[in-house]
Amino acid sequence: MLDDLSNQFLPSTVGGLAAGAIFALLALGYTMVYGVLRLINFAHSEIFMIGTFASLFVLTTMGVTGPLTGFALIGMLLLMLVVSMAAAGGAAVLLEQVAYRPLRKKGASRLAALISAIGASLFLQEFFALVVIPAVFDKAGRNTTGVPRLVDRDVVFTIGNANVRTDHIIVIVAAIAMMVLLDQIVNRSRMGRGIRATAQDPEAAVLMGVNIDNVVRMTFLLGGAMAGVAGMLYVMEYEVTQYNEGFVLGIKAFTAAVLGGIGNIRGALLGGFALGLIENWGAIFLGSEWKDVIAFIVLVVVLMFRPTGILGESLQRARA
């Protein structure tokens, strides 16, 4: 057992960071929407799924069948990034418009909004399984779709016995760059100030001239775009997707958001990386089939001692 630990600790850490980066990107969307609307956007996992298929669409359309290198690879990654962010961000904005805004305008209860969210989630899954996947990708809608390898698994350097590969570096660097960008937008831009004000006191925000509808739209756009980045990186790293690919991942990302303190952007990052690492470390002892169990045990234990998560709730502490 101790042998396992010393042999596998560093490799698990690398894998855990890559998984955690994707959890964190996805957790941002849950946490931002919760911060502004106090709504669990259950359909966020489908926004991620749309992001994976947008990247797959780029690979198929560009005729990628094997690994690329150099500028071709960078260009392809950037193209996937842009298309996935646009598709997922756009889908998130549309989702808000169709599934949440009408309820909000009528002053419906949060339970109604949650049910609408679950409905939207199922609708999007089925819409992809029955319509989009067969029509666009010419595949059976409910089968797992393999993704051609884009990045060679070359070892760039090693830390102890852990191989750090090109794909790991791309995932972790891209995720961190996107998080820094989001953090800057939320903390430095005018719209970001509007988002933070709305999260802290919506009525006072209106009295300052903040247009809440715009803030909500922008929140879904940013959260959706981050889910798009997550989808693109996921497709590149794990080389697979399907109509319900977001389901388990979405629940884990939500867990990460709660773990860090829901509504808190930096909490989502912390929660994401923590969850990725804990899952992979735990798997050393119990085997990787226990990953999901480990993740949720951790959640329960943390919440028993810190009900508001590691960093505490709410966007209001985003800078604290």
Partner 1 sequence: MLLEVNDIHVYYGKVAALHGVTLEVSEGEIVALIGANGAGKTTTLKTISGLRPLARGRVRFQGEDISKVPAHKRVALGIGQAPEGRGIFPGMTVQENLLMGAYGRKGDVSGDLAQVYEIFPRLAERKSQYGGTMSGGEQQMLTIGRALMTNPKVLLLDEPSMGLAPMLVAQIFDIVKEINERGTTVLLVEQNAHQALQLAHRAYVLETGAVVKSAPASDLLHDPEVRAAYLGGDLGVA
As a residue count, the chain comes to 320
The span from the CA of 43 to the CA of 55, in Å, is: 19
Min separation Cβ 94 and partner 1, Å: 23
Q: Per CB under 8 A, which region of 21-29, 209-217, 227-235, 271-279 contacts partner 1?
A: 209-217
Q: What is the DSSP letter of 144?
A: P
Min separation Cβ 26 and partner 1, Å: 24
- Residues 6 or more apart whose CB falls under 8 angstroms from that of 88 comprise 47, 48, 50, 51, 54, 224, 225, 227, 228, 231
Q: What is the DSSP letter of 146?
A: E
Min separation Cβ 214 and partner 1, Å: 9
Q: Which is nearer to partner 1, 107 or 287 (CB)?
A: 107
DSSP state string for 171-240: HHHHHHHHHHHHHHHHHHSHHHHHHHHHHH-HHHHHHTT--HHHHHHHHHHHHHHHHHHHHHHHHHHH-E
Residues 164-203, interacting with partner 1 (CB under 8 A)? 190, 193-194, 196-197, 200-201, 203
Min separation Cβ 313 and partner 1, Å: 11
Min separation Cβ 182 and partner 1, Å: 17
304, 291, 307: which is closest to 258 by C-alpha?
307
Q: Which is nearer to partner 1, 236 or 262 (CB)?
A: 262
Residues 280-319, interacting with partner 1 (CB under 8 A)? 314-319
Pick the binder of partner 1 from 5, 180, 208, 301 (CB under 8 A): 208
Residues that contact partner 1, how many (by CB under 8 A):
24
Q: Which amino acid is at 72?
A: A
**Which residues contact partner 1 by CB under 8 A?**
190, 193-194, 196-197, 200-201, 203-212, 314-320
